[in-house]
Each structure stands twice: as C-alpha cells, then as structure tokens.
C-alpha cells in the first residue's frame, strides 16, 4: 500500500538493513547465553563468547607429563627421555611461539630446541608434540611450557551433562526441572476448566448481576498478586495446606482465573447465536450445549490461555518462593535454582548459562510451536 507511488526501492534498502540490525540486537543476548553454554570454563573466562565462533589465539600454560609417572620416562641411547603431546587427543590447536619461562613466553619457534639447566633439552613441535631429554634421571613434576596457540572453535556438551544428569544437588537441574513441571501442568489445566464454565455463563446465560460480575473480572485482572501473598500464605498455614504443591496449584489457579474468564468470555460471545438457539430448540440442556458445542468451538481461545498460563507458571519465581519452597529446599523450581546459582556460582558462567538455557528451552519450544495462538490471545486480551 505504501508503494503505489513507485518509490519503494529508495527506502527499501534502509528498511531491510534496519530490520537486520534490530533483529541482530534482539538476538545477541540470547545467542551469547546459548554459545556460552557449549564452552568450557576455561574458554569462557579466556575470551568473549563472540570469539568462540572463530579460531582464537590464546596464551596457555601447559605442563609435560610428570617424569615419575609409570612409563613416562624411558632410557633411549643413554638419555632419559619424556615424550608426549601437550594438547588432548584430536585437538587441532597450533603453536606459533613458545617459551619455558613466564617472562619470555615467545622465546622459541615450533621445532626449536631449548637448552634447560643440567644439560636438559626440550623440543616442542607446532602440533604440541614434545621431547624432553636429560643425561640424569628426571624427577619431580613435569616441565612447564608457555605456549601461544591458535585454537579452532571448540564446543562441548559436558556442561549439559553436568547440569542435567550429574545428580549434583547444587548444580543439578533435573530435580528442579521435574518440580517445575509438576507445578506447571495442573496449574495450567485446572483454571481452564473452571474458567470455561464461568465464561459460558457470563457469555450466554441471562441473570441479574451479569454486567457487574464482568466488570469485577476486568477489575481483578490488574490486581497485583503482591497483595495476595501474606493473607493467602496465612490462610494456607491455618487450614493445613502449608507450603507445598497443592497451595501453589490453588494460588496459580486463582491468579490465572481473571484472564482466563476474560479471554474465554470474549471469544464465546462471538460464537454464532443461531447454533446455540437451534440446539436449545432441539431440547439440549445448557450442560450439553456447553460440552458438545461451545467447548470444541472455543479451542483457539482455550489454547491461547493455556499458553499464557503455561509460560506464566513456568517462568514464575514469586509464587513459588512464597507458596512452595520450604526450608528443606526439596521442592525448588528452576527459576529459584538459577537465582541461587547466581549467588553461589556468580562467576561460573558455564554452569549458569547452561542452567538458564535448560529452563528457557521448554518455553521457547512452546512459543515457536504455538506462536499463532499466543498472538491471537494477546490481541483478544488487549486490542479493542
């Protein structure tokens, strides 16, 4: 519609480039976390994650094998020799310069032989292979070697193994993952059932006070849940639910209901009146109309709300902290676990990034799979 005057090409390039820049800016933070979760602790602290995608030059301090290890030292032609490889198996790192003292780390080129004290010599090749010789028997720890090496991009899955499968109680997320799931599923399904009946009554049944009730729902839509924390926690403690899953499910149900009723009612009001009246003429009861006609037709609205409630309960921290997590910490959820990791492991980005990504992954999958319903729900909930 903007191109009727034939001037698209003038602006088109600017628009394209701005959108690319905007998208890149918005993706940058998340990509950083994702890339970091596949790097080792050394790599993360050695260079920024943006350097992980290209070969990088690093200064490393490495050590030869200890001469006292079994079989490390062999006698060849009357010379004690320790041979080996500085890098791990399959590494493609390439040494550009190396040295034997921290003050002169670029003293030698690959292939050079360094003269050490007591007649010892050390030769290091570009691929990290070394030969360390001595006229006397060698003892003590391995020789330190300072290398400047170019390492190709390297990624590892070991962070995910540690976070998901190690069973470690501070780093492990598996328990928190299942706890989150346990909170989320009932807290998503129960409000839908309750809200659907209420929405039907508010949309299609005539009774005094209906308008007032709808206004009340709209009003409750914005009540901050901060107000509910203390009175409800006290109530739960008094009636014996205490802190636990049941209380959390109930709390999420209560907090999710206004939006559920509002979304579903707005959708149901828009359904064709003829169908419902025909069914009534044919003798269907309200209960039958609801279960056989309204519910199947309202699927898009039900899906919209289900996604909202799922994202909300999965990502929630406050409700879980107040109503669920007790002193034992057995019932911790992922968001809480991550906040605790931020405290105890503030510098260990490999653990933090991986834990955070584990908790983000499920909502992202749901988001991309069901984006259509999410957008529809947003539009129904706010645009009038």
Closer CB to other proteins, 157 or 269, in the complex: 269
First and final C-alpha spacing in the chain: 24
Closer CB to other proteins, 72 or 175, in the complex: 175
Closer CB to other proteins, 141 or 165, in the complex: 165
Residues 188-207 that bind other proteins (CB under 8 A): 189-190, 193-195, 197-198, 200-202, 205-207
Q: Which stretch binds other proteins (CB under 8 A): 69-77, 137-145, 158-166, 371-379?
A: 371-379
Choice from 73, 134, 159, 253 touching other proteins (CB under 8 A): 253
SS3 35: helix
The DSSP-derived string for 189-258 is HHHHHHHHHHHHHHHH---TTHHHHHHHHHHHTT--GGGGHHHHHHHHHHHT--SSHHHHHHHHHHHHHH
Residues 255-284 that bind other proteins (CB under 8 A): 255, 257-258, 261
Closer CB to other proteins, 82 or 325, in the complex: 325
Q: Which stretch binds other proteins (CB under 8 A): 77-85, 151-159, 160-168, 363-371?
A: 363-371
Which of 130, 36, 139 lies closest to 356 in space, CA to CA? 36
Q: Which stretch binds other proteins (CB under 8 A): 108-116, 117-125, 130-138, 210-218?
A: 210-218
Structure tokens at 282: 């044919």
- 15-34 burial code (b ≥16 CB/10 A, e <16): eeeeeeeeeeeeeeeeebbb
Which of 24, 337, 101 lies closest to 345 in space, CA to CA? 337
What are the C-alpha distances in Å from 93 to residues 37, 47, 99, 127, 157? 21, 16, 17, 7, 19
Residue 352 sits in the site that holds other proteins (CB under 8 A): yes
Choice from 72, 79, 214, 284 touching other proteins (CB under 8 A): 214
Residue 186 sits in the site that holds other proteins (CB under 8 A): yes
Residue 364 sits in the site that holds other proteins (CB under 8 A): yes
Least gap, CB of 23 to other proteins (angstroms): 5
């Amino acid at each position: 519609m903007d191109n009727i005057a034939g001037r698209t090409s003038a602006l088109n390039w600017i628009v394209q480039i701005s959108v690319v820049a905007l998208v890149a800016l918005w993706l940058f933070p998340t990509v950083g976390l994702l890339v970091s979760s596949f790097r080792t602790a050394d790599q993360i602290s050695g260079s920024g994650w943006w350097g992980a995608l290209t070969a990088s030059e690093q200064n490393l301090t490495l050590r030869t094998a200890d001469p006292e290890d079994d079989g490390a030292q062999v006698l060849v032609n009357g010379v004690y020799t320790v041979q080996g490889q500085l890098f791990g198996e399959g590494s493609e790192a390439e040494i550009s310069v190396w040295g034997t003292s921290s003050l002169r780390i670029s003293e030698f080129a690959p292939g050079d032989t360094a003269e050490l004290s007591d007649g010892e010599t050390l030769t290091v090749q570009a691929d990290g292979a070394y030969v360390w010789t001595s006229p006397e028997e060698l003892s003590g720890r391995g020789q330190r070697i300072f290398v400047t090496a170019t390492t190709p991009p390297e990624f590892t899955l070991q962070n995910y193994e540690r976070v998901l499968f190690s069973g470690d109680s501070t780093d492990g997320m598996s328990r928190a993952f299942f706890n989150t799931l346990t909170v989320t599923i009932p807290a998503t399904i129960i409000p839908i059932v309750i809200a659907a009946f209420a929405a039907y009554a508010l949309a299609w049944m005539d009774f005094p006070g209906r308008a007032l009730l709808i206004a009340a729902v709209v009003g409750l839509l914005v009540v901050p849940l901060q107000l509910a924390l203390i009175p409800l926690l006290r109530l739960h403690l008094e009636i014996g639910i205490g802190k636990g899953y049941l209380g959390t499910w109930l709390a999420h149900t209560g907090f999710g209901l206004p939006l559920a009723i509002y979304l579903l009612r707005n959708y149901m009001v828009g359904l064709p009146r003829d169908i419902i009246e025909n069914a009534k003429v044919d003798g269907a009861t309200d209960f039958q109309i609801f279960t056989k006609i309204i519910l199947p037709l309202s699927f898009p609205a039900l899906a919209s709300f289900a996604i909202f409630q799922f994202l909300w309960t999965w990502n929630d921290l406050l409700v879980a902290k107040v109503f669920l997590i007790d002193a034992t910490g057995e019932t911790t959820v992922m968001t809480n676990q991550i906040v605790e990791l931020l405290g105890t492991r503030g510098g260990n980005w490999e653990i933090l990034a991986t834990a955070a990504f584990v908790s983000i992954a499920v909502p992202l999958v749901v988001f991309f799979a069901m984006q259509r319903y999410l957008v529809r729900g947003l539009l129904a909930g706010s645009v009038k």
